[in-house]
Each structure stands twice: as structure tokens, then as C-alpha cells.
Amino acid sequence: MATITQWEILKTLTKRKQGTQDIRKSLAERDIYLTLRSIQRNLEKLSQTFPITSDHQNPAGWNWAENCDLLSLPAMDGSTALTLRLSEQYLTEMLPKGCINTLKLYMAHASKLLAEIEGAGVGEWPKRIARISHQQQLTLPKIGANVLDEVFQAVLEGKLLTIKYQNLKVEESAEMDLHPLGLVFDSGIIYLVATVWSYQDERQFALHRITDAKRLEQKAKRKEGFCLQQYIANNNFEFPTNTGKIRIKLKVNKWLTRHLEERRLSEDQIIIKQESGSIIEASVTDTAQLKWWLLSHGTKVEIIDPPELRTSIRETIVKLHKTYSQGGE
């Protein structure tokens, strides 16, 4: 297999003869610096595999053979190899099996090319970046290989999907026909957004709770005007209450003030600094996540408004106090 340098040499060639000096100049424009002798040796080696020819003059002129078609070379430079390597590392779970199989050879080639230039630049990039999460680490639920393949292909092809679904609230699996609308990946959990039978309301199905799935030949019904990104933006994955948007007023300490200066609760957030902390006002959606976030900060935050939210949090704290006052066994 040709090296990165050899691919770059091949990319400089046309059906018009070029001397090694011209090739050397083209390579230098791409920050590849070789001696004329090194270029000549590489060309001679490449001519054993590729239809390139020399006029055997001094200096020699090189070109693609007249009787060959121009090759569409896999122009995988370092940046392309890096992109494929990171895609393999972080995006594989989001791709249908067929796409992964198609990309395997490219990903393997990308890894080899990055190994060749290890020690500098993009070759070191995979070792110098990492993705982490500050959420409590839990083991991910298992998804059946057949379920994953059938669901992904149904979404990809727009096909009707029949499944058996195990809801947490009932013991027996329910059978239903789904019209897939899209997939959402949330902290390792994969959700299928779909409509059921002839109903129009969108529902969410965690793939690890699907015990069996079969893709049918029948086309799924596409919901007119549905947009997955807008569906997510409308807080459909955040357990919203019936209250909708609320204006909250919080008293927070200095540490949380600095944190909310960096990561605002909303675009209209207001911070009124005081000696011991700050008063924060912001318009937010009333969701279960909001309450979890407020409780997670403990004594760093006090809810002033709205009264209903303050009461809800106080009731939760009272229940927690009662639980922990009784002592453990």
C-alpha cells in the first residue's frame, strides 16, 4: 500500500510529462520536502504498480500512461485520516451497520496513515484530546444486535417497524407497529422517536427496552412538517411540566455566580451581585431536570420565586430529612 508521501507524488502527475524538479516544487507547496533522488526512487517503485511512465531522459519526465484513464485516487491526507479516526472513535454508535462495514477499510487505512506521521501534527491529535462527562457513571443497558440493526435500517430506509416493547410500568411486552421519525442519542441511551399505528402523536422508545424488532417492506408514514431538531428544542426530552416557561429568581453563592456567568441559564439572565453572592433571574422551562439541577447544588442556591417551585423543592427536602432522620439499617 502506498504511503502518504507516495500518494501525494501520484496526485501531482497528469498525462503531461513533468520533471522531478516540477514534482518537487508541487510537493513543497504542500509542505512535503524531498530530494530529487528520493522522488525518483518513489516514482520508480510506484511505476511497478500504477500505470505511470518515464521518458528515461536526464532529468526524467513522468506522466500517466497515454492508454490509461485518470485514477480517482483516495486523497487521504493527514486531516482526512484524522477525521475518519475520530469518526470511528465517537460516531460509530450513530451509524447503521451497512455504513460501518463500508467505512471499515477507510478507517483501517486512516489509522495506518496516522501511525506513519505519529510524533507531530495531526498524527498526535487522537492522543491529545478526550471527551468526558461529569454525570454519575452508570453501566449502559444492552441492546440486542438484531434490534439495533432492524431499527437503524428502518429509520434509514423509511420503513414500517413492528416491535415488542417492555415498558417499565408493566411486566409483559406490548406489540406495536411504529412509523420511525428519527433517533436521539442521550448520554449513551438511544431513543427512537416514532408514531404508533395510525396515531399522530410522537412517542419515544428506548432501544434497550425493545425485545424484538422487524423491519417491514411497507413504507412508514412521514409526519408532515415534523423536524427532529425542533422536537428536541421543544423540550420533549426534558420531562416538562404543564407550567411551561417560568421566571425564576435565585439567591446563589459566589462560586455558583461565577459558574452561571460562564454557563447562563438563559439568554435573558440577569445577575445582581451582592456581598455574599448574587441574585439571579432567568426565564427557563419548568422541567424535572430543572428541579434536579437545583437540588444538586444544595445550600449553594435558594429559590426565591416562583412560590410554587420554592414549595415543591421545600417539600422534597422535608421528605429527604424525614428519610435520613430515621437512620439506616
**What would the pLDDT profile of 168-190 be if each residue is shown by its tens digit?**
888 889 999 999 999 999 988 99
Stretch 189-196: mean pLDDT, rounded?
96
Q: In the chain, what are the domains?
A: 4-64 (1.10.10), 78-128 (no CATH), 145-233 (2.30.30), 240-325 (3.30.70)
Give per-residue pLDDT as tens, 146-176.
999 999 999 999 999 999 999 988 888 999 9
Listed range (186-190, 307-311, 314-318) with the worst mean pLDDT = 186-190
Listed range (123-137, 177-191, 252-266) with the worst mean pLDDT = 123-137
Give the residue from 190, 183, 177 showing the smallest Cα distance to 221: 177
Residue whose cell numbers read 428506548: 206
Stretch 10-32: mean pLDDT, rounded?
84
Using 50, 70 and 90 to split pLDDT, how confident is the model at 2?
A: low
Residue with more model confidence, 300 or 326: 300
The helix or strand, by DSSP H or E, that contains position 163, with its residue range, turns out to be strand 159-165
Q: For the CA atoms of 136, 142, 143, 146, what is the dihedral angle to 10 degrees?
A: 160
CA dist., res. 276 & res. 261, Å (int): 16
CA dist., res. 116 & res. 4, Å (int): 8
According to DSSP, residue 51 is labeled S
Using 50, 70 and 90 to split pLDDT, how confident is the model at 125?
A: confident
Q: What pLDDT is stored for residue 80 in this prediction?
A: 81
Pull the grid cell for residue 11: 496526485
State how far Cα 280 lies from the chain centre. 33
Q: What pLDDT is stored for residue 132 in this prediction?
A: 83
Give per-residue pLDDT as tens, 42-84.
999 988 888 888 888 877 899 888 776 545 444 567 788 888 8
Stretch 2-20: mean pLDDT, rounded?
81
Give the residue from 217, 177, 212, 208 showing the smallest Cα distance to 195: 177
Q: Which own/partner contact pairs does 18-27 have at CB distance under 8 Å and 24+ positions apart?
A: 18/61, 18/62, 18/63, 19/59, 19/60, 19/61, 19/62, 20/59, 20/60, 20/62, 21/59, 23/62
Highest mean pLDDT: which of 57-71, 75-89, 130-144, 245-259?
245-259
- Cβ-Cβ contacts under 8 Å for 191 (sequence gap 6 or more): 183, 184, 185, 204, 205, 206, 207, 237
pLDDT at 298 over 90: yes
Q: What pLDDT is stored for residue 329 in this prediction?
A: 58
Stretch 218-241: mean pLDDT, rounded?
89
pLDDT at 121 over 80: no
Q: What pLDDT is stored for residue 15 in this prediction?
A: 73
Q: What pLDDT is stored for residue 328 in this prediction?
A: 61
What average pLDDT does the structure give for the chain?
A: 88
pLDDT more than 90, % of the chain: 48
Q: What pLDDT is stored for residue 107 in this prediction?
A: 85
* Residue 226 three-state SS: coil
Pull the grid cell for residue 153: 435500517
Using 50, 70 and 90 to split pLDDT, how confident is the model at 100?
A: confident
pLDDT at 33 over 90: no
Report whether 315 contacts 303 (CB < 8 A): no
Q: What pLDDT is stored for residue 70 in this prediction?
A: 46
Q: What pLDDT is stored for residue 26 in this prediction?
A: 86
Pull the grid cell for residue 18: 513533468
CA dist., res. 180 & res. 193, Å (int): 6
